[in-house]
Amino acid sequence: MKETIDRLRSDGGERIAAADTPAGIEALRVALLGRKGEVTLLLRGLKDVPADERPAMGAALNRLKVELGELLDARQQELAGGASGEAVEMDLTLPGTPPCPVGTNHPLVSVLESICDIFYGMGFSRGEGPEVELDYYNFTALNFPDDHPARDIQDTFYINDKVCLRTQTSPVQVRYMERREPPLACVFPGRVYRNETADASHSAEFYQIEGLVVDTDISMADLKNTVDTFVRNFFGAAEPTRFRPHYFPFTEPSVEVDMQCVVCRGKGCGVCGQTGWLEIMGAGMVHPNVLKGAGYPEDKYTGFAFGMGIDRIAMLKYGIDDIRLLYENDLRFLNQFRGVL
Ligand code: DAH
pLDDT of residue 275: 95
Confidence of residue 340 (pLDDT cuts 50, 70, 90): low
The answer to whether 72 and 278 are in contact (CB under 8 A) is no
CATH architecture of 107-337: 2-Layer Sandwich (3.30)
- Best mutation site among 291, 306, 310 for ligand 1, i.e. most ligand atoms within 8 A of its Cβ? 306
The ligand 1 atom nearest the CA atom of 250: 13
The ligand 1 atom nearest the CA atom of 308: 5
The answer to whether 306 and 281 are in contact (CB under 8 A) is yes
32-48 b/e with 16+ CB inside 10 Å = b?
A: bbeeebbbeebbeeeee
Does ligand 1 come within 6 angstroms of the Cβ of 306?
Answer: yes
169 C-alpha vs ligand 1 centroid, how far in Å?
8
All structural domains of the chain with their residue ranges: 2-80, 107-337
3-state secondary structure of 252: strand
Percent of the chain with pLDDT strictly greater than 90: 58
Q: Is the pTM of this model over 0.85?
A: no
211 C-alpha vs ligand 1 centroid, how far in Å?
9
236 C-alpha vs ligand 1 centroid, how far in Å?
24
Q: Of 1-15, 262-276, 280-294, where does mean pLDDT reach its minimum?
A: 1-15
pLDDT of residue 222: 98
Q: For residue 91, what are the contacts with CB-CB under 8 A and spacing of at least 6? A: none
- Round to whole Å and give the CA distance between 289 and 250: 8
Does ligand 1 come within 6 angstroms of the Cβ of 283?
Answer: yes
pLDDT of residue 87: 63
For 211-237, the pLDDT digits (tens) are 999 999 999 999 999 999 999 999 887
Does ligand 1 come within 6 angstroms of the Cβ of 139?
Answer: no
